[in-house]
Structure 1
Amino acid sequence: MDQKALRNLVESISKTIKSFKKGEVECLIILFHNLAERADMRLDNVGLNRNTFLMVLHSLFGITDDKLMNRVFFAFDKDSDNYINVHEWVKGLSVFLLRGTFEEKLKFCFEVYYLNGNDGYISREEIFDMLGNSLHQPSSEKETDEAVKELVEITLRKMDYDTDGKIPFADFEKAVKEERLLLEVFGQCLPEAKVQC
């Protein structure tokens, strides 16, 4: 690995991401490079595909919910090219590893939870989908659906201030500021583990 290219990349990323020290940024770049397993490419052109990224979420952070892992991938992949580049990696981890501000964590979790990507709100159907995925299966599918429907209604009562069956970011933000435990109501998308170099 070219040390000059690495130093330049650390400097460039450190200018925009203040939540990591330069040594931590370097560590994350090296980890990224090792995960990408493309030593012959320039560092700034390497990308993690979805499968590699999902493996990282599972092995380093213990996340096992496939739907949630896919949503975290899309929240990291800001340019929507189906690869996580080194800038997206470090920026995403700055929030993901709990270094971000509360507002950054709010925005990140909201991006993970709203599945339609472009509509800007979490719908009743998306809430059902996310909550259904996170529940352990009781004796029957019908009982599971009923339990999930009940949780959806409780969630909407807590978070849907205008009672339209949708949770826009403003409602999500207000509800979470009133009760911080609601930040991960649809699944734990912010890990407790820290990456060690």
Structure 2
Amino acid sequence: MDNMSNTRFIALYHHLIKQYSANSTFREMEVASVLLIYYKFVLANGPLARKMQKQQLYNLFLVLFDINDRLITERILLTITTDAKYIDPLAWLNLLEIFMSTDLRVRMKFAFSVYNASGSGYLNRELIIQKVERFFDGQDEDEINELRSDMVDFLFLKFDLDKDGQISFDEYAEVVSKQPALLEFLGQCLPTNSGNFLIAHCANIYSFIDRLEI
């Protein structure tokens, strides 16, 4: 960026950098680096632009985050913002901090909120069926339906600990705490470790690089 763009960046984000880093796992320099990436996307929208467009973030999910399920991406965006078109800088910072977090509890809360499209706090059978439908495809419809039904039954057997026909966050968290591999049991909503490693390098999040296992 030229000197004018750098000056504008500092003027726009100086206070946010200070405020966010004070209560963040990111260092101040890392917050600035993450926001600098955000600002470059804003600049791509024209001289009067103030925010990143959602479509830009969709592209990032495909290229950098390696999350290619459109429905999951839409749910992730609804989790971080209610704006129909734009991503503000705070939502961008919050998303990157969740993605880079090594705290299983933080990651569980995020994944569950993405899956819980109704906002009810529970994953019911209808919702699980909708998610599982995308996992199977083929020409034999009867066989596919049977596989889907078996998968739904298995997931409820695994997660519905009190057998009330719903999966609560506490039930989900209890299972995932013992078996972290089940964190994204209804579809990928977080970058892979290798994806996080790439994000850390691209965004100069050096404090996280040593923590990530490839």
User: What interval of TM-score do these two structures reach, taking the shorter chain for normalisation?
Assistant: 0.7 to 0.9
When residues 140 and 51 of structure 1 are mapped into structure 2, their CA distance, relative to the original with a 3 A threshold, is farther
Q: Is the 8 A contact 1:128 1:152 kept in 2?
A: yes
Higher Rg of the two aligned structures: 2
Deviation at 1:50, TM superposition (A): 3.1
- Equivalent in the alignment of 2:152: 152
Q: Is the 8 A contact 2:67 2:190 kept in 1?
A: no
- Equivalent in the alignment of 1:9: 16
1:86 to 89, 96, 109: 89
Higher relative contact order (CA closer than 8 Å, sequence separation 6+): 2
1:19 aligns with 2:37: no
Q: Quote the Cα distance in structure 2 between the aligned partners of 1:159 and 1:72.
A: 22
TM-score, with length taken from structure 2: 0.79
- Equivalent in the alignment of 2:208: none
Q: Quote the Cα distance in structure 2 between the aligned partners of 1:85 and 1:189.
A: 20
Q: Is the 8 A contact 2:76 2:189 kept in 1?
A: yes
Aligned length: 188
The one-letter code sitting in structure 2 at the alignment partner of 1:140 is: D
- Equivalent in the alignment of 1:110: 112
When residues 67 and 143 of structure 1 are mapped into structure 2, their CA distance, relative to the original with a 3 A threshold, is farther
Deviation at 1:81, TM superposition (A): 2.4
Q: Deviations over 1:110-134 (max 9, x none)?
A: 0111111x2111111211222222x
SS at structure 2 position matched to 1:61: coil
When residues 89 and 115 of structure 1 are mapped into structure 2, their CA distance, relative to the original with a 3 A threshold, is same
Q: Quote the Cα distance in structure 2 between the aligned partners of 1:129 and 1:114.
A: 12
Q: Quote the Cα distance in structure 2 between the aligned partners of 1:47 and 1:143.
A: 47
SS at structure 1 position matched to 2:149: helix
Q: Quote the Cα distance in structure 2 between the aligned partners of 1:125 and 1:173.
A: 20
Deviation at 1:29, TM superposition (A): 0.8
TM-score, with length taken from structure 1: 0.86
- Equivalent in the alignment of 2:55: 51
Identity of matched residues, %: 24
- Equivalent in the alignment of 1:96: 99
- Equivalent in the alignment of 2:131: 130
Q: Quote the Cα distance in structure 1 between the aligned partners of 2:38 and 2:74.
A: 18
**5+ residue gaps, structure 1:** none
Q: Quote the Cα distance in structure 1 between the aligned partners of 2:63 and 2:136.
A: 21
SS at structure 2 position matched to 1:103: helix
Q: Is the 8 A contact 1:128 1:148 kept in 2?
A: yes
- Equivalent in the alignment of 2:76: 72
Q: Quote the Cα distance in structure 2 between the aligned partners of 1:136 and 1:124.
A: 17
The one-letter code sitting in structure 1 at the alignment partner of 2:133 is: G
**5+ residue gaps, structure 2:** 204-214
Q: Quote the Cα distance in structure 1 between the aligned partners of 2:136 and 2:37.
A: 34
Name the Cα RMSD after superposition.
Answer: 2.0
- Equivalent in the alignment of 1:175: 175
Q: Quote the Cα distance in structure 1 between the aligned partners of 2:161 and 2:48.
A: 50
